[in-house]
Structure 1
Amino acid sequence: MKKYTTIIVLSLLVFGCGSKKNTTDTTPPPPTNETTELLSFKFNESSGQTINETKTNATFTINGPLGSAERIAGVEGNALRTNGFYGWANGKTNISYPTNKVCVTGWIAPSAFPVQRKDLDQLSDNTNASIFSNVNPNTNAGVALGIDQYGRIIAQFKVGTEIVNIISDQQIELKKWSFISLNINTLSGLASLYLNGVKVKGIACPFGNISWDTNATVYIGKESKVKTIAGFDTNGLTGAIDQVSVWAKDLTDAEIQTQYTKVSPSIPNLKIPIADRYANDNHRPKYHLAPSSAWTNESHGLLYIGNKYHLFSQRNFNGPYLEHINWGHYVSSDLVSWEEKTQVLWPQPGFDEVGIWSGHAVIKNGQPYIFYTGVNKARAAIGLATSNAPYDSWTKNGTPIIAAVPSNIPNADFRDPFVFQNNSDWYMMVGTGLRSGTSRGGLFLYKSTSADFKQWSQQGTMLEGNPTADGTGEFWEMPIYYNFGAKSIVLINKLPNANALYWTGSFDGAKFIRDNVVPERLEVVNNLLSPSIHPDASGNLTAMGIIPDGVNSAKHKQQGWAHVFSLPRVWTLVNNKIKQVPHPNLLQLRGTSKNFTNVSFDQNSSNVLNGANGTQYEIVATINPGTATKVGFSLNKNLAIGEQTLIYYDFTTKSFVVDRSKSSVLPDVPLSNQSGSYELPVGNINWRIFVDASVIEVFVNEELAFATRSFPSVGSNQIDLYAQGGTATATNLKIYNIQGGGTASVSKIAEQKEDIIHPVVYPNPSSEDFNFKFSNIAKPTAVAAYVFDITGFPVKRIEKLIDAENTVIKWNGYMDNGMKAREGVYIIKGFVENDLFDAKIIVE
């Protein structure tokens, strides 16, 4: 069956079609005959799970769980918000559709463009996320108008036995109202699309009668076809719809212009109402960065520029499943409170038409550059994008900077560029799976040959794995290179069984020379992946990764979001190992605390912390293991239903253990245990544990880190100590209540921080006994701080209560390990109540 898809480049001239109204013509356009309006959807209902079609009074049902329907301010009154995999409306109408002439009009404000399924849809099978569709998927009778996966206006209709598709050449804007229209006249054999009152595409269509199915379901906000992935509908619109009409005539250009100019819409507020939407979600974190909705995974491109932190990540805005990947964008002034911005990159026709996959970002001479993996139906290529302040929109290079994988080196794939500087040269490494001989991971190496990063020379492989000897799997993705000075690291995420591993060594301009064959694990228990790194405002190497949910599709569909970012961490290299500590800015999250000293506990103990409980908190504890063979914590505990998550160190097996076997009685959540071997030195164990709903991040002895997920029932929130085989003692333990942080919602934009306080330091320089004097202290005020060495590693924790009579805190020049601080520059950084302070210290 022939499809009419002829593109008429000069359609305005060939068909004599109208164009944008001449601004010098003062003749008013003829009024539209309202009696020709067959269907009209105003969406002005204030609540409820239905909408009303005002011409026939037909009731349409909004798809989704009861109470899930959302409205926003529209072009006039309210508008219907749709969320990709739910939120559209459907119903039936009892009207006679016109035989030869029809027009469909409506307003649309997309948050993202709809999904085209990478492995299930042909490129010619365009998605039509319709503002109106009554197409019978079996016979194709009916009319549909919407946008495709690239944001182009798209329409479909049927004349006799012929199916007609028409697609505009230009893309509509994200997060702005656009007025789109479809005109069909089968007596003259013309069909046209309009954007904001102006004709943007015209094609020839067959003469004859328009085919309709009067019994077909009408969809508002979704294509009529059934297209799914993992139980998610993939062809719904993500955004908002308003003022949709079907007319029993083809409107003139002047009439379409009149419909467009009837209203003057403001910028739509498409931010997700986080507080309302997730009010009953006890598993959603509040101070960890998480997507406002739908899907996120690999973080990349952490930058600090213009006094702001920018983090990018893989995003599908259409639902919590992996497909049609964009680059999401988050901005923060402190690495703690984040605001989600409009995505900066998304698929467009060409080499990245299927997805914008992972990559990296760098700053060169004050100019930021994004390097990304562009995916089409064949193989990946490397793309480039640039931006100017405030870095909210980015411009892609028109063609890939590396168009194809090296043909002379057999490989399985090619993705995830990471760019770094070595002396005066810039290099790019790209993850791959090598297939000459033993299947193994590897890194292709490229060298920049142009100042604008558009030309690169292939340099072979920078590093190759040997799975038998080093356990690094068959493929490497999301690589990282960083030079700490005396040593450099290369970190890879190996597949299968994803794990972040790294080597220390040196780069000679062609190869990375490893110190050891077997890499180190980044996490002592593997549940954090794909970290992104960048120095913070103070020069501390800061990392953020992704902590997967580990749940199934049913749970993701229920909660409406997928995956969480780690808290920011400071990395240092000590004795050829990466040490990870919580970023000092996290101190500002601390609220009131409960304090305990010298608490003894054993396997028969319960509730030794006197009913301590919470869902958002930080534990800081020093535990003497005594005679216990297992020592740690029982979190998310509820004896009444038998729920608890155990996190402990096992001295018998010399390993950290996360016991989730009784973590939840709920379905569709992970219950598997996790562990990682590590031999702790004899003595006390220092713990910092951050619990945020379903997220748990653990830091041990200011060097080790791991993360996990736990999905308890509502009310399972008790905090307790855990021991087996003997008696242990918590010599000092504090539980800080935490509020704030996370992703900004509609009503809560990240607050502007006041200027940093700089206390007077005396004597300075000195060899010991530093004093830090604060001013304007009128009441008892808590001070919490760390002293950091020049590499950003915390060497001394300081906590004290000051008041109007005692405004000084002291540091005697000794570190927490009992050794005297060596000569050099140190920084003290922390909080006086909720105000950030820092000061430079010079140790003689």
Structure 2
Amino acid sequence: MKKFATIILSGLLLIGCKSQNDPSPTPSPIPPPNVATELFSFNFNETSGQTLSETKTNASFNINGPSGSAERIGGVEGNALRVNGFYGWATGNASAAYPTSKVCVSGWVAPAAFPVQRKDLDPITENTNAAIFSNVNTSTSAGIALGINHHGRVIGQFKVGTNVIQILSDQEVALKKWSHIALNINASSGTASLYLNGVQIKSTTFDIGTLLWDNNATIYIGKESKSKTIAGFDTNGLTGAIDQVALWNKDLTAAEILTQYNKFTPSDPDLKIPTAVRFANDIHRPKYHLMPSASWTNEAHGLLYIDNKYHIFSQRNLNGPYLEHINWGHYVSSDLVSWEEKAQVLWPQPGFDEVGIWSGHAVISNGQPYIFYTGVNKARAAIGLATSTAPYDIWTKNANAIIPNAPTTSANADFRDPFVFQHNSDWYMMIGSGLRSGTSRGALYLYKSTSSDFKNWSPQGTMLEGNPPVDGTGDFWEMPIYYNFGAKSIVLINKLPNANALYWTGNFNGSQFVRDNPVPERLDVINQLLSPSIHPDKNGNLTAIGIIPDGVTSAKHKEQGWAHTFSLPRVWTLVNGKIKQVPHPNVLSLRGTSKNFTNVVFDQNSSNSLNNSTGSQYEIVATINPGTATKVGFSLNKNTATNEQTLIYYDYATSSFVVDRSKSSILSGVPLSNQSTNYVLPAGNINWRIFVDASVIEVFVNDELAFATRSFPSAGNNLIDLYAQGGSATATDLKIYNIQGGGTASVSKRTEKKTEIIHPVVFPNPSSENFNIKFNSITEATPVYAYIFDITGFPVKKMETVLDANNPIIHWDGIMNNGNKAIRGVYIIKGLLKNELFDAKIIVE
């Protein structure tokens, strides 16, 4: 070692003592044998732009994606390159004398999710390699690649002689943390090793030979060299961040790899999607509806309330806005309105769920939450179990499936989406399927728990089967729901094909659900909401949140970078055999300033009836007397310059609700089809509550009906107008509330801490009539909007007034909206005082 140091020092002295007039060129220092040098080095310390530089050759690499889409985050040193699954990787060429005997490639990686293995297109034995470095010729396989596979294992590939060698670790790289990975190759000894955080985790041997390269092969940083796509999306890019990538001219010693790892002690990377920046110009992205920060979501499930927090989960592909390689996304809220997106809680791993973690359910038993999910591999679906402890951010899977496969007594098509419920003292699970013996029909398999930890289940046959010629329920059922309202229960299914949420009322007898009627009811009067997830809120109101799909093309999904959104929370009650749906009272907290109208008369010749009212995020509350009109409703997202508008109305001639989207947009790739459903409304006024949130429109009618749709106009801040045909109608009372806030917190928008809910004093209480609800902090004119709910959560009285210091009391005479006197029992008043929520208990004698 001393001799080696002396040689280096002497060389430096000779170079330093050369005369400045010496015309002979100064030779570049030649590294001694066995000293590792970097052939390529990527530090990613550029601050902006769609290019990055390889620092040894100064070669420029292009970052894939639209102009301005490249993103950097804080790295292990300086900046790091953020890669977003279907875009954001870098490609280029750089010249080097590739070593034919020994080489090492190393770097840091922080995956936000593991990459996609295509369920139907990739053989189970084929690994995705989301590479931090790949220069493989896909025809000859010459070159080298190092990355992580679809299960988060470190994977390397190279070619020696005629043999393509793949080396794969057994250890999973941590999600959302920095990890140092390295691949060492010594072709002259026929050995290769993988390292994770300075420790060797896998080694292999192969026939001695020569490392093969293609000097002209494109270098990929953040993606493997192969082309793998679905619906126009590249599926084998990394989702996460990369830093300090290097290709070395020799295999590093274990000590040298450990030194590379110990050079940095990085903090956990900030991998939250910068939604405010990334989607700043996206006029179609909802703002106050719950939705993921980016990429794909569908099928809400597992709504829970535990430890004063609401949790909901959903199907998630974090690698892009397309359906593949599904994880379970996770969101948390204290009020069902403002949500924080958490890390995914379940993702595919080798075994029965290696292809996808599909839909399911969550329950709480003895204070312990349990997740039941569909695990998918290439052969079949099975039912898995996971548990967690506070704060419920990390869930541990049961090693084996609790139900390994569908029953074999009947031919069935697929087997998925468990829903678990308690009946008397027993726990049951129903699972969606489709029977293929005789007439193809949907069905629910029933299981009964035989252990308190939910790991053992006994098959009980079918709980319910469809009869498509009679009930129109298709040939497959998914995402089932059971709920006992007391005297009656419901079973809700999402039928296929032509997805639709349908339900029956009836009773469960311990083995089968006995329907009251053979034909089910629609959940939404116009079908658009799918796969609702239910759970009582902290006050016992049955709350439901579903998915409202976009209906756009894959090209539009790729352009916008996200897919689908959740509905607003709704309260369900069962009245006269039908589910009534109203917005959850907490939605009132979204309201801002309002614009008020009274007695607005309008007909088919009317235009701009609401005085240039415009908006992209707002709520309409209106009472409309249809008068002589045959069609009455609203024109939304209206643009007179482009002739765009979306019509929402009731057609008295056909007794139908209609969504007319035929002129809703001049853009391509968005839904333009009309939607309508027959529904006979009683005579009289129509009470509307309509929530518009960019491309989302949710409609509630008469405190009982609901439907949703999507509209993608070419410009934001569109006109709001009334619509009538065939005669004149009158908006006797109409308010448009501006809405800001809600939705999902991101890196640039954190969930604000909510103040305590106000509890006004009610007197006399209990009483049979003439209740006074008094607020003690009124100092100025303050608008109040509230509902009184019965014990089931059904709204029985709407109240709206203005209070001030001299009149701080709301009065209720005990008469409900239907004109009847409130029956004996407990009622709750909930509402919004200016911008603060309040509630109080009212006891009717």
TM-score strictly above 0.5: yes
Cα distance, 1:830 vs. partner? Answer: 1.5
Contact 1:137–1:224 (Cα < 8 Å) also in 2: yes
Residue by residue over 1:327-354, the C-alpha shift from the partner in whole angstroms, topping out at 9 and shown as x without a partner, is 0001111110111110000000010000
Matched, 1:394 2:395: yes
Contact 1:637–1:716 (Cα < 8 Å) also in 2: no
Superposition pairs of residues 3-18 of structure 1, within 5 angstroms: none
SS at structure 1 position matched to 2:615: coil
Alpha-carbon separation, structure 2, partners of 1:63 and 1:814: 64
For 2:111, give the aligned amino acid.
P
Alpha-carbon separation, structure 2, partners of 1:186 and 1:547: 55
SS at structure 1 position matched to 2:258: helix
What is the aligned partner in structure 2 of residue 709 from structure 1? 710
Residue by residue over 1:637-689, the C-alpha shift from the partner in whole angstroms, topping out at 9 and shown as x without a partner, is 01111000000000000000000000000011010000011000000000000
SS at structure 2 position matched to 1:482: strand
SS at structure 2 position matched to 1:539: coil
Cα distance, 1:54 vs. partner? Answer: 0.4
Alpha-carbon separation, structure 2, partners of 1:151 and 1:282: 35
Alpha-carbon separation, structure 2, partners of 1:214 and 1:741: 53
SS at structure 1 position matched to 2:277: helix
SS at structure 2 position matched to 1:123: coil
For 1:331, give the aligned amino acid.
V
Cα distance, 1:294 vs. partner? Answer: 0.6
What is the aligned partner in structure 2 of residue 750 from structure 1? 751
For 2:808, give the aligned amino acid.
T
830-839 or 551-560: bigger deviation = 830-839
Matched, 1:232 2:233: yes
Cα distance, 1:780 vs. partner? Answer: 2.3
Alpha-carbon separation, structure 2, partners of 1:264 and 1:770: 64
Alpha-carbon separation, structure 2, partners of 1:371 and 1:745: 28
Contact 2:694–2:716 (Cα < 8 Å) also in 1: no
Cα distance, 1:806 vs. partner? Answer: 2.2
Cα distance, 1:710 vs. partner? Answer: 0.2
Contact 2:419–2:430 (Cα < 8 Å) also in 1: yes
* Gap regions ≥5 residues in structure 2: 1-31
What is the aligned partner in structure 2 of residue 90 from structure 1? 91
Alpha-carbon separation, structure 2, partners of 1:649 and 1:727: 14
Aligned length: 814
Alpha-carbon separation, structure 2, partners of 1:542 and 1:802: 30
What is the aligned partner in structure 1 of residue 15 from structure 2? none
Pairwise CA RMSD: 1.1
Alpha-carbon separation, structure 1, partners of 2:206 and 2:175: 30
CA 1:398–1:32: 2 relative to 1, 3 Å: farther
Cα distance, 1:716 vs. partner? Answer: 6.0
Alpha-carbon separation, structure 2, partners of 1:603 and 1:646: 13
Contact 1:643–1:716 (Cα < 8 Å) also in 2: no
Alpha-carbon separation, structure 2, partners of 1:379 and 1:62: 39
Alpha-carbon separation, structure 2, partners of 1:698 and 1:118: 37
Alpha-carbon separation, structure 1, partners of 2:466 and 2:572: 24
SS at structure 1 position matched to 2:594: strand
254-263 or 749-758: bigger deviation = 749-758
Alpha-carbon separation, structure 1, partners of 2:417 and 2:831: 36
TM-score for both structures, normalised by structure 2: 0.96
What is the aligned partner in structure 1 of residue 653 from structure 2? 652
Alpha-carbon separation, structure 2, partners of 1:824 and 1:495: 42
Cα distance, 1:304 vs. partner? Answer: 0.5
What is the aligned partner in structure 2 of residue 130 from structure 1? 131
What is the aligned partner in structure 2 of residue 611 from structure 1? 612
What is the aligned partner in structure 2 of residue 491 from structure 1? 492
Contact 1:300–1:311 (Cα < 8 Å) also in 2: yes
Alpha-carbon separation, structure 2, partners of 1:385 and 1:409: 29
Cα distance, 1:715 vs. partner? Answer: 4.2
What is the aligned partner in structure 1 of residue 6 from structure 2? none
550-559 or 814-823: bigger deviation = 814-823
Cα distance, 1:776 vs. partner? Answer: 2.5
Alpha-carbon separation, structure 2, partners of 1:503 and 1:420: 17
Cα distance, 1:526 vs. partner? Answer: 0.5
Residue by residue over 1:543-602, the C-alpha shift from the partner in whole angstroms, topping out at 9 and shown as x without a partner, is 011111000000000000000110000000000000000000000000000000000000
For 2:840, give the aligned amino acid.
A
Contact 1:528–1:706 (Cα < 8 Å) also in 2: yes
Contact 1:369–1:386 (Cα < 8 Å) also in 2: yes
Contact 1:272–1:746 (Cα < 8 Å) also in 2: yes
Cα distance, 1:818 vs. partner? Answer: 1.7
What is the aligned partner in structure 2 of residue 442 from structure 1? 443
Superposition pairs of residues 717-796 of structure 1, within 5 angstroms: 717-796=718-797
What is the aligned partner in structure 2 of residue 534 from structure 1? 535
What is the aligned partner in structure 1 of residue 121 from structure 2? 120
Alpha-carbon separation, structure 1, partners of 2:675 and 2:121: 35
Contact 2:431–2:480 (Cα < 8 Å) also in 1: yes
What is the aligned partner in structure 2 of residue 326 from structure 1? 327
For 1:677, give the aligned amino acid.
N
SS at structure 2 position matched to 1:282: coil
Residue by residue over 1:708-752, the C-alpha shift from the partner in whole angstroms, topping out at 9 and shown as x without a partner, is 000001146100000000010000000000000111110211111
SS at structure 1 position matched to 2:255: helix
SS at structure 2 position matched to 1:556: helix
What is the aligned partner in structure 2 of residue 68 from structure 1? 69
For 2:205, give the aligned amino acid.
A
Alpha-carbon separation, structure 2, partners of 1:183 and 1:571: 60
Residue by residue over 1:422-472, the C-alpha shift from the partner in whole angstroms, topping out at 9 and shown as x without a partner, is 000000000000011100000000000001000000000000000001100
For 2:647, give the aligned amino acid.
L
Alpha-carbon separation, structure 1, partners of 2:154 and 2:811: 66
What is the aligned partner in structure 2 of residue 637 from structure 1? 638
For 1:378, give the aligned amino acid.
A
Alpha-carbon separation, structure 2, partners of 1:99 and 1:243: 23
Contact 1:638–1:716 (Cα < 8 Å) also in 2: no
Residue by residue over 1:223-247, the C-alpha shift from the partner in whole angstroms, topping out at 9 and shown as x without a partner, is 1000000000000000000010111
Residue by residue over 1:96-151, the C-alpha shift from the partner in whole angstroms, topping out at 9 and shown as x without a partner, is 11111111110000000000000000111100000000001111000000000000
Superposition pairs of residues 406-805 of structure 1, within 5 angstroms: 406-715=407-716, 717-805=718-806
Alpha-carbon separation, structure 2, partners of 1:275 and 1:729: 40
Contact 2:370–2:388 (Cα < 8 Å) also in 1: yes
Alpha-carbon separation, structure 1, partners of 2:806 and 2:35: 78
- Percent identity reads 77
Contact 2:588–2:837 (Cα < 8 Å) also in 1: no
For 1:327, give the aligned amino acid.
W
Residue by residue over 1:202-227, the C-alpha shift from the partner in whole angstroms, topping out at 9 and shown as x without a partner, is 11122111100000000000010000
Contact 2:141–2:158 (Cα < 8 Å) also in 1: yes
Contact 1:617–1:735 (Cα < 8 Å) also in 2: yes
Alpha-carbon separation, structure 2, partners of 1:59 and 1:51: 6
Cα distance, 1:34 vs. partner? Answer: 7.7
Superposition pairs of residues 78-477 of structure 1, within 5 angstroms: 78-477=79-478
For 1:416, give the aligned amino acid.
D
Cα distance, 1:779 vs. partner? Answer: 2.6
SS at structure 2 position matched to 1:181: strand
Alpha-carbon separation, structure 1, partners of 2:35 and 2:60: 21
Alpha-carbon separation, structure 2, partners of 1:809 and 1:776: 14
Residue by residue over 1:732-773, the C-alpha shift from the partner in whole angstroms, topping out at 9 and shown as x without a partner, is 000000000111110211111112211111111111111122
Alpha-carbon separation, structure 2, partners of 1:715 and 1:154: 46
SS at structure 2 position matched to 1:505: strand
Cα distance, 1:781 vs. partner? Answer: 2.1
SS at structure 2 position matched to 1:360: strand
Contact 2:616–2:716 (Cα < 8 Å) also in 1: no
Cα distance, 1:35 vs. partner? Answer: 6.2
Residue by residue over 1:352-378, the C-alpha shift from the partner in whole angstroms, topping out at 9 and shown as x without a partner, is 000000000000000000000000001
Contact 1:40–1:53 (Cα < 8 Å) also in 2: yes
Cα distance, 1:32 vs. partner? Answer: 12
Contact 1:448–1:455 (Cα < 8 Å) also in 2: yes
Residue by residue over 1:763-792, the C-alpha shift from the partner in whole angstroms, topping out at 9 and shown as x without a partner, is 111111111221232332222211110001
Contact 1:644–1:716 (Cα < 8 Å) also in 2: no
Residue by residue over 1:491-540, the C-alpha shift from the partner in whole angstroms, topping out at 9 and shown as x without a partner, is 00011111100000000000100000000000110111110000001100
SS at structure 2 position matched to 1:533: strand
Contact 1:638–1:715 (Cα < 8 Å) also in 2: no
